[in-house]
Structure 1
Amino acid sequence: MQYHRLNALMEMYGDLNFTVLGFSCNQFGLQSPEVNHETLNILKYVRPGGGFVPKFPVFGKVEVNGLNEDPLFTYLKESLPFVNPVVGDVKKLFWSPINVNDIRWNFEKFLITADGMPFKRYDLHCPIEKVEKDITELL
């Protein structure tokens, strides 16, 4: 469902100064064990499957939390911190150390302005309509 919503955002705003960037990560329940060259086939045939093709760039696998986190995600998390600690089943989180501003699960989203400034952070359960509203306001 999340992938289809990201494609829908590209359909709505892709002709404007907007794009979705997708990053695969295996730190949440080990749900993405594939290697980079397998990612597009996994999306097409498995998750979400049904012939899905992303309408946005999908980058190679990264770590978004822990000692080996990608500097982009360090910057985003420092710029847009959470006020509540990481919650959930720690047995399903595969990084160390766990920090208060860590990304909590797959499909957490960051909205960045056209000039590259982090604008807003959305957790997994944020209604897509809130994200759409903020995108519209920025555009």
Structure 2
Amino acid sequence: MDSVYTFSAQRLGGETIGLDGYRGKVLLIVNTASECGFTPQYAGLQKLHEQYGARGFAVLGFPCNQFGKQEPGDAAQIGSFCEKNFGVTFPMFDKIDVKGPNAHPLYRYLTSAAPGLLWTKAVKWNFTKFLVDRNGEVVKRYAPRTKPEALHRSIEALL
């Protein structure tokens, strides 16, 4: 059976890493954008990362420019924006596609494992969140409107 651990991705700095390095952690995987109405969620994601990181939790951010072209920057610009404006220290990855024929394999897995409303698989917008348990399996998908602050109980249940 697949899990998120079977995939790899490139970090903003260019290093490709296997997600098996997060084995045993609870993960919140989020497609992000710097110019979106939901961009302020970076602050809440960072708070979750800080609050639960020592207990085996990590947020993984995947910038995406497929929704309204709201992530136009390159890796350096994205990293600088996130650090300067929201103090982001959680892992950020290179910009990827999260839907369509060029969707990153990780996102093909996530959307199959946790379909959205009415069983649609496609990610509909920035800041869609996937909660993953310590075994690398998707537990739940959250809509972009779901604020990070609303996830405490779900995260704590998996820790």
> What range describes the TM-score normalised by the shorter chain of this pair?
0.7 to 0.9
- 1:1-139 matched pairs, under 5 angstroms: 1-45=40-84, 49=85, 52-84=86-118, 100-139=120-159
Structure 2 counterpart of 1:43, one-letter code? C
C-alpha separation in 2, matches of 1:14 and 1:57:
12
Give the structure-2-normalised TM-score.
Answer: 0.70
Q: Which has the higher contact order (CA 8 A, sep 6+)?
A: 2
Q: Which runs of 4+ in 1 moved over 6 A?
A: none
Give RMSD over aligned pairs.
Answer: 1.5
C-alpha separation in 2, matches of 1:53 and 1:8:
10
Q: Which structure has the larger Rg?
A: 1
* Structure 1: runs of 5 or more not aligned: 86-99
Q: Report Cα offsets for 1:57-99 as digits up to 9, x if no partner.
A: 00000000001000000000000012337xxxxxxxxxxxxxx
C-alpha separation in 2, matches of 1:31 and 1:116:
29
C-alpha separation in 2, matches of 1:7 and 1:105:
20
Give the structure with the higher percent strand.
2
How far is the alpha carbon of 1:128 from its aligned partner?
A: 3.1
Give the structure-1-normalised TM-score.
Answer: 0.80
Is the 1:40–1:53 contact (alpha carbons within 8 Å) kept by the matching residues of 2?
A: no
Partner secondary structure for residue 59 of structure 1: coil
Is the 1:110–1:120 contact (alpha carbons within 8 Å) kept by the matching residues of 2?
A: yes
State, as a whole percentage, how many aligned pairs show the same letter. Answer: 38
C-alpha separation in 1, matches of 2:123 and 2:136:
20
* Structure 2: runs of 5 or more not aligned: 1-39
